[in-house]
Amino acid sequence: MKAMFSFLTVLVLVGLSSSPLLAQKKGKRAKGPSLFSGQVKKAVPGIDAVVSLSDEQKAKYAELQKAMVASEAYVAAAKTIKNKDASKEDRKAALTAIKTAKAGLAAKLNGIIGADNATLVNKVNDAVASAQKDLRSEYKAKLKEAKNDKDATAALRKEMTAKAASSISEKVNALLSDAQKEAVKKASTKGKGKGKKNREKKGKKKEEADNS
């Protein structure tokens, strides 16, 4: 039961706390803060294109987000969730603290990005929460039944992750206009051709080196 709860907790936390600001690799320059979680960005590549932020807006949002993740309550909650020895009650309290922090940040979005953009972002976040809630309900019994079978549990987790991406993609796209969908499509394919050419160029150089 503890293992099952831990995995379901992580599923929720991914949608709440994933962020380019948190996941940025050392040595790489960030393109600016994203209003959407890592799980949304993975399920709907190019989603950031639906909300265009000015440099000033990016700076304001980044400042608020950094302050949130650095707050004492947020840091303590994150540590509790990562602690395998934490009790079920402590984990639930930690999740509540993180949700409260994220809700506080969401409430400040209106003044930064405008009412229309804030409404869309909140609808997307609600869609993610809905998808996760549905999955927890669907897989709770299955995970409990398979808790002593590592292979079965791993298969269920893989299936759950794939279904989460599919469900989130479907729910988010249902919120977008045709113009927004087109913007997302263009953003998701931007740079792919260049990457392919670079890979082909490297492959050609390797082949020439092997033949020399």
Give the residue extent of every domain in the chain: 2-19+30-176
pLDDT of residue 177: 92
The dihedral built from the CA positions of residue 160, 18, 147 and 152, taken in this order, carries a sign that is: positive
What b/e sequence results for 81-98 when a residue is b if at least 16 CB atoms lie within 10 Å of its CB, and e otherwise? Answer: beeeebeeeebeebbebb
CB-based contacts of 127, cutoff 8 Å, min separation 6: 168, 171, 172, 174, 175
Asked if residues 47 and 59 have their Cβ atoms less than 8 Å apart, the reply is no
The predicted model gives 131-159 an average pLDDT of 89
Q: What's the token pair of residue 119? A: 């409404």
Confidence of residue 5 (pLDDT cuts 50, 70, 90): very low
Lowest mean per-residue pLDDT among 65-79, 98-112, 181-195 = 181-195
Looking at residues 199-209, what average pLDDT do you find?
Answer: 56
Q: CA–CA distance from 205 to each of 86, 90, 101, 212 (Å)?
A: 53, 56, 51, 11
Give the pLDDT score at 90. Answer: 94
Mean pLDDT confidence for 27-38:
61
Ranking 7-21, 93-107, 117-131, 185-199 by mean pLDDT, the lowest is 7-21
Alpha-carbon span 17 to 19, nearest angstrom: 6
pLDDT-derived band at 53, boundaries 50, 70, 90 = confident
On the question of pLDDT at 30 being above 50, the answer is no
pLDDT mean over 182-211: 65
pLDDT number for residue 122: 84
